[in-house]
Structure 1
Amino acid sequence: MANIKILLLPLLFSLLSTTTQDIEKAFLQNKPKILYSLLSSKSSINISLPEPISFSDQLSNQQAYFLFKKIFSSYTTFEFFSESEIPLSPEENDFIFKARWSFRDNKNNDQHVLHIFFFMVNENHSRASPSPSSQDSGKMKPIWRIIEIKAEKI
């Protein structure tokens, strides 16, 4: 069993990297549709963003899409890069992706820098466990979804 976990770790981290690259792409291209594809549809999304955005609430994935559509139309990202991917527990299949987000207010050209955190869960992990043979063949790939977004000023 331990050997299977060791073999699956590179797969988990490669899919994790793809997910974090998609988050970066969503912010750098100011495209909420990319971010929407990564939001959980199974639970509400907790979002807490400081000034100048000043927003804190629980939203559906569709509401979060419209929020980020408004944010990306009001603020232009000029820098977004990963600072760390922090696995909380390999058995729990969740992690926090931390990034640095720099953006400009389109109204007054003020620049802002935030640390932004994405709490991600593997939605495949919460389903009923597949048979051992399907685990061995790698059919249950992780589906990483965002369930929380928080930010703080730097």
Structure 2
Amino acid sequence: EIALLAPVTGVIHQLNEKLTRYPSLVNHDPYGEGWMMILQPECLQEDLQQLLYGEQALAWYAQEIARLHREIHIALCAMGTSPEALAGRTLQDGGVPVSSSSGCGLTASAMRESLIERLGPTWWTEMIVQFLHPQAGRFKSAPERKTRHRR
């Protein structure tokens, strides 16, 4: 597990324990059964001013995806592996699309495992630190929850 910095400060009052059994709910029903936590914000107005919205958020996301693709390309080339050869036949050159419904689907976890296998766990850890900015760049096996009580 990775301890990530939250975009807002506050006190967590409740965690959705259902996500430990069904983590896919976060993606499939984020505003229903997939909620993560109930948080009482401390400095919400200031925290919200630091976040990106709309077109700004989309542009940042596109830049980060492009940066990740460049990092993967650089790492594969440094190993002497052609990213194009590694991809195999794709739709543009007569191959088939990769999707979860096509029977030859590649899930996010399978892709992550493939990258870790090809590029090594050290590279993967560096990418986690570079892109997700985990707290102090440290991995924690089980995040310690500090409960704050207000009087």
* TM-score tier after normalising by the smaller chain length: under 0.3
Q: Which has the higher contact order (CA 8 A, sep 6+)?
A: 2
**Normalized per residue, which structure has more strand?**
1
Larger Cα-atom Rg: 2
**Normalized per residue, which structure has more helix?**
2
